[in-house]
Amino acid sequence: MRAGTKLLALCASALALTLPAAAVSQAAELRTNINADPAMVDPITYSELIAGDVMANVYEGFVGLDTEGNVIPALAESWEPHEDGLGFRFKLRSGVKFHSGRSFGAKDVKYTFEQLLIPGNRGGLNAEYLDTVVGAQAVKDGKTTDLEGVTVVDELTLDVRFTKADVLFPIYPFYFMDAGIVEEHGADWATKASAGTGPFKFKAWNLGRDVQLEAFADYWGGAPKIDGVRFLIVPSGDTAVSMYEAGELDVVYVDTQTIRRVLKDPQFKDEMLTAPAAQIRYLGMNQNLYEPFKDIRVREAICIGFDRDAMVDGLYDGAAFPLYGQVTPGVAGYNPDLPAIPYDPERAKKLLAEAGYPNGEGLPPIKVTDTEPNKNDITYYANQFSSVLGMPVEVEIVERGSHIKRMNAGEVPFFPWGWSAGYPDALYFLSQVWYGPSTYNRSRWQNDAFDALIEEAQGTADAKARYALYNKAEKILLDDWGTCPTTVRMQVALVKPNVEGVSLTPFRFLPFGDAQVTE
Amino acid sequence: MIEYAARRLAGLLGVWFLAIVITFVAVQFVPGDPIMALLSDRSGDADLEARLRADYGLDRPLPVQFLDYLAHIADGTFGLSFRFANTTVFDVISGGLLISPILAITAILIAVPLGVVLGVFAAQRANSWADTAVILGLVSGISIPNFAMAAFLVYLLSIKWSVLPVAGWGTPQHLVMPVLILVIPPTAYVARLTRTYMLEVLQQDFVRTARAKGLRERLVIYRHALKNTFVPLLTTVGIIFGGLLSGTFVVETIFNIPGLGRLAIESIFARDYPVTMTIVLLFTMFYSIINLIVDLAYTALDPRIRLTNTKA
Amino acid sequence: MSAVPILRIENVTKDFQIKRSALSGENLTLRAVNDVSLDVYPGETLGVVGESGCGKSTLGRTILQLTRPTQGRILFDGNDITRLSRKQLKAIRQDIQIIFQDPYSSLNPRMKVRDIIAEPLENFSSDRSAITRRVHEVMEIVKLPVAYADRYPHEFSGGQRQRIGIARAIAIRPRLIVCDEAVSALDVSVQAQILNLLKEIQRETQVALLFISHNLGVVRYLSHRVAVMYLGRVVELASEQALFENPKHPYTSALLSAIPEADYSRRGTRKYLSGDIPSPIDPPPGCPFHQRCEKVQDVCRVETPVLDALAPEHWAACHFPNVSDKGIRDGA
Amino acid sequence: MAAPSTSQTARPGSDFFLRFRRSRNAMIGSVIVAFVVLMALFGPLLTPHDPVKVNVLASWRAPDSTHWMGTDALGRDVFSRIVLGGRVSLIVSMSVLAVTLTIGTVLGMCAAYFGGWVDALVMRTVDIIFAFPELIFAILVAAVLGPGTLTVIIALSMVWWPGIARLTRSLVLGLRHEMFIEAAIVSGTPAHKIMRRHFLPNIVAPLIVRASIGVGFIIMAEATLSFLGIGIQEPEPTWGAMIRDGLSQLRTDPHLALFASLALGITMIGFNLLGDGLRDVLDPKVRN
């Protein structure tokens, strides 16, 4: 038994080692959830959603969003397009301090752009926004580290020049970083220091447990009213809601599988925030891979062959609404006047018969493909198309990484997928998902008139005129049944009654700078 | 004894090496590509893909990659994580390194004595309804899936009564529910084994003799019978430990404990192979070391001479 | 008796490696059979006697190639069978069979009598009807009702089981049968029946028997010649009559005097063997028997005696063999 | 040590049934198992609804007279799915048993019978697989093969055969020097025939016990793999996946996880009791 006692003692001491200094509850700390560790916490390699949730609180770009999801100036006070339309001159905000205490200025913007492009740095999502900048390719190729198209005019004035028109450049969600940080903390500064201008400073990242931010007192928009934000890493959405229920989280971003639980429980009624996600969803039909898709009647039959309203009620418990176009509400350029796409199985059958496939006879077998989390959706589609249209559809669940690769390579014939907006403008959806040359045109729908309109829009600085072009292009896409828009999901979040100032926009939470936790 | 232990340890090194080979080969066949997982939506960018592949040494021939991995094991970093930018595997796992073993060992320290007591209780009342009730209870314990039981406990203890935290790690309270879930199967296992061995031993002559001599029943059981069930019980500790390590996968996932079990599942889904391989290797090492200790203890307790070429 | 032996055992030695303990790597050698040479002639019975542990069973097992000798050769029909391949060995199996001591464990409890007896036949023939005929034939020979063919071993008595074992052994008409304590496990009355059965079979088939037993009476009843083994060695070899009436080796004398049978006229002069057989792991130097021999001299402790022909067809390994024809009585 | 063969096998069959009937565990267990097996065999023919028929308009129904156990997220009948899920569980466990018993006994017998390098090769392989905690090895294999029914069968077989091989080997080693084996060798019986006719029938009883206990492990392991998302996939219903899907709805629609857990639990109890009972009945050492 002595050995047992010793072992127990050993265990206890080992346990003590792994426990961080007892979790002292800080009244003024906001606790919320992320469903995995962020893959990174630096603005250069930044390339995923979860890291974005954290970093939006630490870093800022030219613009930000207001509580309605509208673009508002942030680190850029104003900008003027160059006369030839190929570039902008930015007037930066004065009096902005980095977390290090250094002042923010034009040199930091240039530095950030260069860091994003230098090959060894593995520039992430934000690097893509620099493709049109003059000299970007040279930096990317490693020929120089000086980005030719970006000029520091004076401390707070920056000139950016493009190789081709890019009217949306000012609203791209860059994260500008402190040019002095590497000198101060070395190349691996990212987990040791905080290099942003946002309302919170990066404090600590305990892998598998949490990411901690602390309030930045010198924030240009005013010091946050809370001491900090703790993002607890909670992979299970269900657990997160339970933790919220037990008072272990103040704010929860509810994952789609758990939305039902939240909606059905009356106790959450007054604590719920909702906002449509800025994510289009569609059913991709690749005409190159499945002969019948070449017939517009078959495409229409598919698009009217499933019941969006039933999906909203049955699959999503009402936390969604039907989508009739390829731009989501809350995103600039959204057309609210698009006609509804009906669920009309009779007409769908008729169209299919006209196309030469009465009751689905003669249709070759096909698989509808998606990843595990969306298995209910494809099970519904497969069931619907086989029972309503007689189409021999099978369900195929695949691994995400290889699925995306195959979709990008245009190798998946039939798939429901989504695309989340990186910035609040319809061009994001239209130019990335349906523009012919785009890598992300995964169903390989192609239309010259559509492509021409998109190119024209990219050079149209006037917003109204640009939106008209969007609407025109979108109509071409829809009239051709090039895609089946499906639904827009609602985002659901829970916020404890003692927490104020948390806003959910189509682009997830706003930074928690205005949040307040009262006792 | 020391020589024997050393020989066994040397054998273990061989087994570990093979375990490394097996996991390395295995992950090569796991569908999905870590670079694709890393690139996610941007997987059309061939330049970026090539660059990342080179960064992680994935453009090199497999044998070279294997040697790289061995070198990284040797230098203690275990290589670079695919999922976390610029982070070594060691940094990824070090925070949770002891959590799974702590859970497993705590569970074993509770399960073994508890199981023995229950087993003795049932054996003493063999074939009575009390016996059946205990057995049925134990069987139910291992029959209800741990993930369902966990959900039930969370609802009751955390949400309804608010006595324990829902999930997480950091205070002793966080240990209670996971350990409770983990303890059930090994307790049932030990109890049933104890019952069987006790029944066997209780029928042996020396126990009858002891009883006949008028020794008190409890003394007979504990002094004589239990002593004889100890060795067979000892041999099962390794198996139990293995089951517990496997159990941590589920328990850590459910209770959101940042241990290696949860990390392993996440790494498999994120195609973070260096982390996956390292965790499998570590678990294999934990497990085989426990088995070695059990074996050594067993051999020390059972000094019978063994014939290699038994005569008929 | 033919002059050409059917089986010739030449200098056979069998060692076993023994691990003293699992913890230390130390190995010990147990010499179970030590430089044994014997001949068996067609149609004869060679008895091998000795106390348990003397190596006689091991010797039997080496003949059957159930275990390979460490040294020496075993010639069957003049061919060395210790170096045969699997295939060649199978051919030899037709000629050498065994009858085991324990009639309980020597029969597969899951097989019918018919299948047990048929097994050796099936290995050498595929003619089902011929096999069935032969099974019935040998069942008659061993005096088992053919109606029992579909029963399982547990439904039989010990003697009946031994008959099944004999039936199995003789089914393929072997030329040599090793009987390893073939009757030791049986009641005395049953023993006699089985011995008579063996005699009968030998008379009819001219099969050679190597009859291994610790029971001198049984050996005497059946054997033409007898070898006495002690601590892995043959210490005396002679015809049945010579050995029993005129033993040369003190060990043989001692064994004989220990026979409790009533028809021996030497009652009252019984000598008991004192002490245990020395361990074959660490045999004493010199004569293996010297620790228990009452005639022991200094030379016995140093020099190992060799098997000498002390009379025609009578060999013994002793520095001081009994000289008188009266043997035991004089040794007293 | 005496081989387990003789004394116990010498007993006529009627005694087995007598003892079986007297074992409470075995009786309760076999009744449950019989029920589950019948359900799996004939249930899908009798279920009131198509278990894969989607009707999103009827999703999340609580149990009522039409849907005895309610419906799931896609409006599929939970009762029908549980019945079909039981069939999947049994197919998986029976396949794993068939595969592992075949591989395990053949390799175990070969290792014990031939010894030498065959033994070394088999037993070292066994050791290496044993070096991995069992479910972890299964998870690794399942991850390699990608989700699916076949994957689960292969993964669990790879984990489970070494135990059978080791048991077989030790049983055969116990029999190796039985005289009837030597008699067979002397009779010139070839090795494969000795294994089939002599070893196998005499080690069957402990293997059956092992198998009956193993069914529980396999069913639970399959459920766990499905729970962790690397097991059997849609549209095939499995209890593990149903429980996982139902867990997040535990508060709103408890019937989803509840009935699947009950089905799994009852089946497990059945097999465990049967296994225990069989051990008591077949193992002569434990006789009360």
**What token pair was written down for C225?**
């010649």
Q: What pLDDT digit, counting tens, does each position of D264-288 carry? A: 889 988 888 888 788 777 754 444 3
DSSP state at residue A199 = S
Yes or no, beta carbons of D248 and A257 under 8 Å apart: yes
Q: Look over chain A and give the mean of its residue pLDDT values, rounded to a whole number.
A: 90
Q: What pLDDT digit, counting tens, does each position of A251-300 carry? A: 999 998 889 889 988 999 999 999 999 999 999 999 999 999 999 999 99
Residue B263's nearest CA partner among D262, C76, A208 is A208
Shortest distance between the Cα of D269 and any Cα of chain B, in A, equals: 6
What is the three-state SS of chain C?
CCCCCCEEEEEEEEEEEEECCCCCCCEEEEEEEEEEEEEECCCCEEEEECCCCCCHHHHHHHHCCCCCCCEEEEEECCEECCCCCHHHHHHHHCCEEEECCCCCCCCCCCCCHHHHHHHHHHCCCCCHHHHHHHHHHHHHHCCCCHHHHHCCHHHCCHHHHHHHHHHHHHHCCCCEEEEECCCCCCCHHHHHHHHHHHHHHHHHHCCEEEEEECCHHHHHHHCCEEEEEECCEEEEEEEHHHHHHCCCCHHHHHHHHCCCCCCCCCCCCCCCCCCCCCCCCCCCCCCCCCCCCCCCCHHHHHCCCCCEEEECCEEECCCCCCCCCCCHHHHC
**Whose structure tokens read 């499995």?**
D238
Interface of C with D (CB under 8 A): 61, 64, 66, 90, 93-94, 96-98, 100-102, 104-111, 115, 119-120, 123-124, 153-154, 165, 168, 172
Q: What is the C-alpha separation between A239 and C289, in angstroms, rounded?
A: 83
Helix, strand, or coil here: A373? helix
Yes or no, beta carbons of B1 and C32 under 8 Å apart: no
D57 backbone dihedrals φ, ψ, rounded to 5°:
-75, -15
- The architecture CATH gives domain A24-39+190-275+491-517: 3-Layer(aba) Sandwich (3.40)
**Cβ distance A50 to A35 under 8 Å?**
yes
The beta-carbon neighbor of B166 closest among A19, A128, A239 is: A239
> Given this model, what pLDDT does residue C260 score?
60
Q: What is the C-alpha separation between B184 and C97, in angstroms, rounded?
A: 57
Residue-number span of the structural domain to which D165 is assigned: 92-234
**What's the domain count of chain D?**
1
**What token pair was written down for A455?**
């190119």
For residue D244, being part of any structural domain is answered with no
Q: At what angle do helices B226-254 and B146-153 cross, to 10 degrees?
A: 70
Q: Look over chain D and give the mean of its residue pLDDT values, rounded to a whole number.
A: 82
- Triad C254, C260, C266: Cα angle to 5°: 65
Q: What pLDDT digit, counting tens, does each position of A62-77 carry? A: 999 998 888 999 999 9
- Is the pLDDT assigned to residue A16 strictly greater than 60? no
> Given this model, what pLDDT does residue D234 score?
66
Shortest distance between the Cα of D202 and any Cα of chain A, in A, equals: 42
In terms of CA atoms, which chain A residue is nearest residue B262?
Answer: A208
CATH of domain A59-185: 3.90.76.10
Q: What is the C-alpha separation between A401 and A118, in angstroms, rounded?
A: 25
In terms of CA atoms, which chain D residue is nearest residue A370?
Answer: D234
Which string of DSSP letters, residue by residue, matches chain D?
---SHHHHHTS-HHHHHHHHHH-HHHHHHHHHHHHHHHHHHHHHHH-SS-TT---GGGTTPPS-SSSTT-B-TT--BHHHHHHHHHHHHHHHHHHHHHHHHHHHHHHHHHHHHH-HHHHHHHHHHHHHHHHS-HHHHHHHHHHHH-SSHHHHHHHHHHHHHHHHHHHHHHHHHHHHT-HHHHHHHHTT--HHHIIIIIIHHHHHHHHHHHHHHHHHHHHHHHHHHHHTTSS--TTS--HHHHHHHHHTTTTT-THHHHHHHHHHHHHHHHHHHHHHHHHHHH-TTS--
The beta-carbon neighbor of C108 closest among D180, D185, D190 is: D180
Q: Sort A340 into a burial class: Cβ within 10 Å, 0-12 / 13-18 / 19+.
A: exposed
Q: Which of residues 27-86 of C touch B (CB under 8 A)?
A: 30, 32, 57-58, 61, 66
Lowest mean pLDDT among A341-355, A359-373, D230-244: D230-244
The whole-model pTM stands at 0.78
Mean pLDDT for D66-84 is 89
Would strands A504-505 and A508-509 be described as parallel, antiparallel, or unpaired?
antiparallel
- Is the pLDDT assigned to residue A128 strictly greater than 80? yes
Q: In the complex, which subunits touch B with 3 or more CB pairs below 8 angstroms?
A: A, C, D
Cα dist from D232 to A377, A396, B266, D91, D154, whole Å: 18, 12, 19, 12, 12
- Is the pLDDT assigned to residue A438 strictly greater than 70? yes
Mean pLDDT for B224-250 is 79
The beta-carbon neighbor of D234 closest among A258, A307, A375 is: A375
Peptide bond into D133 cis (omega under 30): no
* Amino acid making up residue B121: F
Q: What pLDDT digit, counting tens, does each position of B143-200 carry? A: 888 877 887 888 888 888 888 888 888 888 888 999 999 999 899 888 888 887 777 7
Q: What pLDDT digit, counting tens, does each position of D179-203 carry? A: 888 888 888 888 888 888 888 888 8
In terms of CA atoms, which chain D residue is nearest residue B239?
Answer: D133
Model confidence band, residue B308 (pLDDT cutoffs 50, 70, 90): very low
CATH C-level class of A279-489: alpha beta
Higher pLDDT, B110 or A17: B110
Lowest mean pLDDT among B33-47, C63-77, D129-143: B33-47
What CATH number does the domain containing D171 carry? 1.10.3720.10
Question: How would you classify residue A256: left for phi > 0, otherwise alpha for psi between -120 and 50, otherwise beta?
Answer: alpha
Is A345 at the interface with chain D, CB within 8 A?
no
Residues in chain B closer than 8 A to D116 (CB atoms): none
Is B160 at the interface with chain A, CB within 8 A?
no
Q: How many of the other CB atoms lie within 10 Å of CB of A285? A: 25
Cα dist from A16 to B94, B221, B239, whole Å: 15, 38, 27
Q: What is the C-alpha separation between D16 and A67, in angstroms, rounded?
A: 77
* Amino acid making up residue D190: P
* Amino acid making up residue C234: V
Q: What is the C-alpha separation between D239 and D226, in angstroms, rounded?
A: 8
Q: What is the C-alpha separation between C240 and B23, in angstroms, rounded?
A: 70
Q: How many of the other CB atoms lie within 10 Å of CB of A259? A: 24
For residue D190, being part of any structural domain is answered with yes
**What token pair was written down for B219?**
């003394």
Question: How would you classify residue A72: left for phi > 0, otherwise alpha for psi between -120 and 50, otherwise beta?
Answer: beta
Is B74 at the interface with chain C, CB within 8 A?
no
Q: In sequence order, what are the residues at sequence separation of 6 or more whose Cβ sits closer than 8 angstroms to the Cβ of residue A152?
A: A105, A106, A107, A110, A158
What are residue B197's DSSP bridge partners? none
- Is the pLDDT assigned to residue B6 strictly greater than 90? no
Q: What is the C-alpha separation between D112 and A361, in angstroms, rounded?
A: 60
Yes or no, beta carbons of A376 and D73 under 8 Å apart: yes
Residues in chain B closer than 8 A to A248 (CB atoms): 165-168
Q: What pLDDT digit, counting tens, does each position of C87-134 carry? A: 888 888 889 999 988 888 888 888 889 999 999 999 888 889 999 999
For residue D20, being part of any structural domain is answered with no
> Given this model, what pLDDT does residue A156 score?
95
Q: What is the C-alpha separation between D242 and D260, in angstroms, rounded?
A: 6
Q: Sort A47 into a burial class: Cβ within 10 Å, 0-12 / 13-18 / 19+.
A: buried
Which string of DSSP letters, residue by residue, matches A69-137?
S-EEESSEEEEEE-TTSSEEEEEEPTT-B-TTSPBP-HHHHHHHHHHHHSGGG---GGGGGGTTBTTHH
> Given this model, what pLDDT does residue C188 score?
85
Q: CA-CA-CA-CA torsion for D58, D60, D61, D63, nearest 10 degrees?
A: 140
Q: What pLDDT digit, counting tens, does each position of B92-135 carry? A: 898 888 898 889 989 999 999 999 889 888 887 877 788 888 88
Is B3 at the interface with chain C, CB within 8 A?
yes
- Is the pLDDT assigned to residue B301 strictly greater than 80? no
In terms of CA atoms, which chain A residue is nearest residue D232?
Answer: A397
Query: Hey, what domains does chain B have and what are their CATH numbers?
Result: 2-95 (no CATH), 99-301 (1.10.3720.10)
Yes or no, beta carbons of A379 and D56 under 8 Å apart: no
> Given this model, what pLDDT does residue B206 score?
63
Cα dist from B254 to A234, A484, B169, C294, D72, whole Å: 10, 37, 12, 82, 22
Q: What is the C-alpha separation between D61 and D81, in angstroms, rounded?
A: 14
| Contact D/C (≥3 CB pairs under 8 Å) | yes
The beta-carbon neighbor of A19 closest among B36, B38, B170 is: B170
**What token pair was written down for D222?**
């399959």
Q: Look over chain B and give the mean of its residue pLDDT values, rounded to a whole number.
A: 81
Mean pLDDT for A393-421 is 89
Q: What is the C-alpha separation between D29 and C195, in angstroms, rounded?
A: 53
Instruction: Give which of C17, C58, C95, C108 to mutate to test D binding, by max D Cβ within 10 Å.
Output: C108
- Is the pLDDT assigned to residue A204 strictly greater than 70? yes
- Is the pLDDT assigned to residue D6 strictly greater than 50? no
Q: What pLDDT digit, counting tens, does each position of C234-289 carry? A: 999 999 888 888 888 888 888 888 766 544 444 445 556 666 777 777 777 888 88
**Whose structure tokens read 């989504």?**
A418
Regarding an ipTM greater than 0.85, the answer is no
Q: In the complex, which subunits touch C with 3 or more CB pairs below 8 angstroms?
A: B, D
Q: What is the C-alpha separation between A458 and A425, in angstroms, rounded?
A: 11
**What token pair was written down for A460?**
């149209």
Higher pLDDT, A460 or B31: A460
Q: What is the C-alpha separation between A213 and A231, in angstroms, rounded?
A: 8
Q: What pLDDT digit, counting tens, does each position of A111-125 carry? A: 999 999 998 888 888
Q: What share of chain A is helix, strand, coil (3-state, %, to 5)?
A: 35, 20, 40
